Amino acid sequence: MKPRSVAPMKIAKFGYLIMSLLLIAAGVVCIAVPGVSAKVIGIIVGISLIIFGIIRLIGFFCRDPYRLAFRYDLECGILMLILGIVILISPESLMNYLSIALGVSALIDGLFKIRVARDSKEFGVDSWWLILIMAIITVVAGTALIFDCAAGAALLTVFLGISLLSEGILNICTVVATVIIVKNQQPDVIETTFTDGGTPDESEE
């Protein structure tokens, strides 16, 4: 029986970690330097969303053993791809839109991660509560970013930084706690054929 390749899962897991660290770094920069150019922020965030969206789609289709971290990443991955493309079209003139879009993205991701935390608790993951706490913080940060879109540019950049920071930490907590790479993992679908004598013969795809 040929084991399933774990390469897609490795790409998803380590890509998740790298992009989450970049989100944290971007969040720290936004908080520390709120006067940074809106165009620069838009370009960086747009590219990051596209890359992260692709990674999340890879995660969704890699079929990790726990089925926790990437369970809802089809929807989030598509949303990130769309937002990233739209932001890159006109990064310098979309600051208010950017704050709303990222606020909605963080809000949706946080709500999905609350469900992941619940599922992790039922699954027996010890650090489910950490995922839950960071998911709630991300929901609050995303909501604040949506409703504070009329704030001044500097204050808006700070809120954006807080949202990016919380979402980056949330993703790291989720991936570290729930994604386990199992070598020699067997495929989920087992194909059953019948021999001439009518005896079922099970073989894996």
Task: Compute the chain's Rg from CA coordinates.
Answer: 20
43-57, 148-162, 181-195: the lowest-pLDDT one: 181-195
Residue with tokens 């386990």: 180
- Report the number of secondary-structure helices (H) and strands (E) in the chain: 6, 2
1 inside domain = no
Token pair recorded at residue 132: 């839950």
- Does the pTM exceed 0.75? no
Q: Can you name the residues that pair with 203 across neighbouring β-strands?
A: 191
How many folded domains does the chain comprise? Answer: 1
What residue numbers bound the domain in which 130 lies?
7-182+189-204
Cα 45 to chain center, whole Å?
14
The 8-class DSSP code of residue 151 comes to S
64 inside domain = yes
2 inside domain = no
Which helix (H) or strand (E) is 170 found in, with range? helix 153-178
197 inside domain = yes
27 inside domain = yes
114-163 pLDDT, tens digit each: 988 888 888 888 888 988 999 999 898 888 888 765 555 667 778 888 88
